[in-house]
Structures are given as C-alpha cells and as structure tokens.
Amino acid sequence: MDKSDKFGSSASPLDSGTDKQESDGTSDTEGGPGETSSTSRMPFIYRRKNVKDQRDQIHIYITNATEQDLMDVEREFNREFEDDTVYSLDVREAVIKAGLENVERAEEIMEEWGYGLR
C-alpha cells in the first residue's frame, strides 16, 4: 500500500505536525513547551520528554489471555524495531489506536463475548 492510500494524502506519518486538526476541532497530538517548527515535524517518540509525556493515565482491566497477547505483540515489536527502545506504553497505545481504526473487528469480539444476544 502506498503512503497516499494509508494516510489519505501523499504525506508520510513523519510529516504530520503536532497541531493536526481532527474533524471535531481537536488536535491529533499536542506540541510541548518550546516546540519550534523544526521539532513539530519530528515523530512523536523524538518530540516527547519521556514515555509518559503528552499522555493521560487510564486504568483498564484485561483478561490474562489479553495480557499474554499484549506481551506477545511487545516481544514481536522489540524484534521488529531492534534498534529502538520499545516501551510497553507505546505498544499498548498503538494496539488501542489500531483497534479504533478497525471498530468492526472490536464489535465482532464483543459479539463473541455474548453482546447482542439479549
């Protein structure tokens, strides 16, 4: 798939600025203090001060099977991105974002769990 198909334009994910506006008027990501035009074009993992920067904390409960699946994905990403430090927080957020891009599959999983049977 070429970049224009995946991102809706010829821009790459590295070209997306920190002030990209979503259709609801919110920003996709927020810039940090002292950000210049050159840093706004930097990928997220290089702009942030630490792995928790620009993130809100949420608490979720997951099954042991889901936890194991997340650990498997993290191990795979560590192999794939062997030259980078892969943080669990990044893996978890990436998995959540991927799920948000495929809500139909999330709905199927909920149906597998028994939703919609009443």
Q: Is residue 14 predicted with pLDDT exceeding 60? A: no
In this prediction, residue 30 carries a pLDDT of 43
3-state helix vs strand vs coil in the chain, percent to 5: 45, 0, 50
Q: What is the pLDDT of residues 42-98, one digit of tens each?
A: 888 888 888 888 888 899 999 999 999 999 999 999 999 999 999 999 999 999 999
| Banded pLDDT at 38 (limits 50, 70, 90) | low
Q: Is residue 26 predicted with pLDDT exceeding 80? A: no
pTM for this structure? 0.61
In this prediction, residue 94 carries a pLDDT of 95
